[in-house]
Amino acid sequence: MTEHEPKENRAVQTAAEVLDLSPVIPVVALDDAEQAVPLARALRDGGIRTIEITLRTPAGLPAIERVAAEVPGIVPGAGTITEPGQAELAARAGAHYLVTPGTTDRLLDDVEASGLPYLAGASTVSEAMRLAERGATAMKFFPAEPSGGTAYLKAIAGPLPELRFCPTGGISPDNAPDYLALPGVRCVGGSWLSPPDLLAAGEWTRIAELAAEAAALG
């Protein structure tokens, strides 16, 4: 656990609690950190309780820092953790949880060392079982649609009934209800709540409406 924030002060303590924050976790890649606060407020006003800000752009870390400091009521997470060192940087910026697209032992060791709960990505039975062996029973299913979608998750529910997933990748308002109807799915991740055109135009009211529609899926 890092020294910057005591565990008891975090909004979520476990990966299972991350899955229960909202039926949809908005996955956001920002080019401008100035957009982070109004975006997070719009999502919160629509009933979404978390935002996954990815580290795909240089604005990712400062955006997490802004949301953590300025937007109470929404839990910031850091996504696209792919390299050792990023987990600690995200934790120091104020992320309450971490999300990885895949699993390697080196990356998982680093993520676990941060002390934050995490959703590690798995797209195969072997990857899911490896995570379970490390004590992780809540994980990200990515890329969901290319990896077999709802049919795949139904197939592995028999041998692995204890696992819980956040499918991400190809999720939309059209297929999200199908995923959320599965007993092993607690939430989905998607980027449709903050499309680039709405971000560029500052259409925060429309984003709040999309958030409300997503929150109603739960």
Is the C-alpha dihedral spanning 7, 9, 10, 12 positive or negative? positive
Q: Which of 112, 140, 154, 203 is catalytic?
A: 140
CA distance 27 to 54: 7
What residue type is 156 in one-letter code?
Answer: I
Cis peptide before 84 (omega within 30 of 0): no
* Distance between first and last Cα of the chain: 32
Catalytic residue, chosen from 5, 8, 17, 52, is 52
- Is 7 labeled as catalytic in the residue annotation? no
With 0-12 / 13-18 / 19 or more C-beta atoms within 10 angstroms meaning exposed / middle / buried, residue 5 is middle
What count of Cα atoms within 13 Å lies in the side-chain half-sphere of residue 208? 10
Q: Which two tokens stand for residue 23?
A: 């039926």
Paired with 139 in beta bridges are 165
Alpha helices in 27-165 (DSSP H): 36-45, 60-70, 86-93, 105-113, 125-133, 149-157
Active-site annotation holds for 140: yes
Residue 137 host element (H or E): none
User: What are the catalytic residues?
Assistant: 52, 140
